[in-house]
Amino acid sequence: MAEAVLFYLFAAGVLAGGSQVVLRRNPIYGAVSLVGCFFFLAGIYVLLSAHLIAILQVLVYAGAVMVLFVFVIMLLNLKEEELGELRFTFWKVVGLVAVLATAAVIAWRALGPAYPSTGPARDNAILLAAEGFGGVKAVGRTLYLAAVLPFELTSLLLLVAIVAAVVVAKGKI
């Protein structure tokens, strides 16, 4: 009961925040709505028993990454006339139609009969998340046992990204 209500609430928040990102002309509003969107998304993750990922979403995305965005927006400090108007061209319309059609196809497919119904008949052990599913221990075991090499490579990737960001943004070193 509460799950359904929360889902619709969070989903509405996610879509509202996301649409603000796309529609708002000033990027600072977009960034702030994106933070809100991410918070609601973290709520959705909790509904999906992905507790660790939900925390990471808040810490990394809503926290670190969005701070970076806001920082850059402030740094550039674009004036009103520099923000630019939304112009529709032929190709933008084509792209928009293609994007919407893709989403429609996916939604159509997801709602279709191919995906098994999770109605009361299948309200069984698979549905009820296993004990500890999505927690630090379960995800950590997967990360460190099944995916240890990509995990270590990720740290390398982050290091490279840090160095690259510094080199690119600094101009003169």
Partner 1 sequence: MVDFFHAHQAQHYLVLAALLFALGAAGVVLRRNAIIVLMSIELMLNAVNLTFLAFARFPLVANSPMQGGFSQGHAAVFFVIATAAAEAAVGLAIIIAVFRSRTSVNVDEFDSLKL
Partner 2 sequence: MEVSWLHLIPLLPLAGAAVCGLLGKWLPKAWLYAIALVTVLLSFCIGLTGFLRLPEEVPIFHEVAFNWFSAGSLHVDMGFLFDRLSGALTLVVTGVGFLIHVYSVGYMDEDPGYWRYFAYLNLFIAAMLTLVLGDNLVAMFVGWEGVGLCSYLLIGFWYTDEEKAYAGRKAFVVNRIGDVGFLIGIFVLFNATGSVSFAQLGVAPLTLATASIAALCLFIGAIGKSAQLPLYVWLPDAMAGPTPVSALIHAATMVTAGVYMVARMSHLYTSAPGVLALVALVGALTALWAALIGTAQNDIKRVLAYSTVSQLGFMFIGVGVGAFFAGTMHLVTHAFFKACLFLGSGAVIHGLAGEQDLRRMGGLRKYMPQTAWTFAVATVAISGIFPISGFFSKDEILAQALHTKAYDFLTLGPGGPHLTSLGTILYLVGSFTALITSFYMWRCYFLAFEGEYRGPEGVHPHESPGIMTSPLWILAALSVLSLVIGLPEPWVRGSFLEHLNWEHFTGRLFSPPRGGPPAGFSPWPGYLVALAIGWAGFGLAWLLYAPARAASGDDRFAALFPRLRNAFANKFWVDEFYDWLVVRPLWSFARGLWRIFDATIIDGLFINGSAQLVAWVAALARRFQNGDVQRYAAVTALGVLALVYAFLLRSSP
Query: Of 26, 17, 70, nearest to 44 (Cα)?
Result: 17
Among 92, 122, 137, 141, binds partner 2 (CB under 8 A): 92
Residues 10-69 binding partner 2 (CB under 8 A) are none
Cα–Cα dist 86/98, whole Å: 19
Residue 98 CB, nearest approach to partner 2 (Å): 4
Residue 24 CB, nearest approach to partner 1 (Å): 8
Residues 109-138 binding partner 2 (CB under 8 A) are 109, 112, 114
Among 15, 59, 78, 101, binds partner 2 (CB under 8 A): 101
Six-digit token string for 116 = 């098994």
Residue 156 CB, nearest approach to partner 1 (Å): 10
Cα–Cα dist 63/20, whole Å: 19
Query: Of 39, 5, 31, 27, nearest to 83 (Cα)?
Result: 27
Residue 72 CB, nearest approach to partner 1 (Å): 5
Q: Which residues of 118-151 are buried (b: 16+ CB within 10 A; e: fewer)?
A: eeeeeeeeeeeeeeeebeeebbeeeeeeeeeeee
Query: Residue 48 binds which one of partner 2, partner 1, none, with CB within 5 to 8 A depending on kind?
Result: partner 1
Six-digit token string for 119 = 């109605």
Interacting residues with partner 2 (CB under 8 A) = 91-92, 94-96, 98-99, 101-102, 105-106, 108-109, 112, 114
